[in-house]
Structure formats: C-alpha cells, structure tokens
Amino acid sequence: MVLFGLGKLFYVILLLINAVAILSEERFLSRIGLGRSTNAGPSFGQDENTTKSKVIQLIGAVQTLLRIPLIGINIIVIIYELLLG
C-alpha cells in the first residue's frame, strides 16, 4: 500500500514553489533579512557562497523565472482536479 505516490509528491512540490513565488520582498523577506537589497554583495574577507545568499538567489530565481509557467501549471491542475478529482 503506497501512501505517498508521485501525484501527491507533485502537489507538495507545486504548493511549495507557489509559496516561494508569492513571498513579498517588502512585507516579509526584508523583515527577516532575506531581501535582495540585503544581499548587496560580499564585503572584504566574506564568503560569497553562504547559505543565506544561496537562499536569496533561489527565492529570486523562482520569483523571476517560474512566475508565468506557474500560472499555466496551476490552471492545468485546477482543471484536472475539477474534472477528474
């Protein structure tokens, strides 16, 4: 008996990507120090590949690159759920 199939895994991944895509930089990200303006670049002697900078870059990439495809994917999933769900 499979409790966690590929379909549910797809839904979880889709919901997590949607959650990252709708994060507001002004309202939320800058308050917790993850805004793009807080990542102006490494100072002298600092490592530029810190975990924080990678998280900021990942959030920015998801918001920039996946915004339009997510709209289409969400519409397809909603139609699928309405018809066959």
Q: In which residue ranges of the chain is pLDDT below 70?
A: 1-3, 29-30, 34-48
pTM flag (> 0.85): no
- Rg (the chain; Cα; Å): 17
Task: Give Cβ neighbours of residue 59 (< 8 Å, ≥ 6 apart).
Answer: 20, 23, 29, 34
* DSSP letter assigned to residue 44: T
pLDDT at position 18 is 92
Instruction: Give pLDDT, residue 80.
Output: 93
Identify the pLDDT of residue 35.
Answer: 67
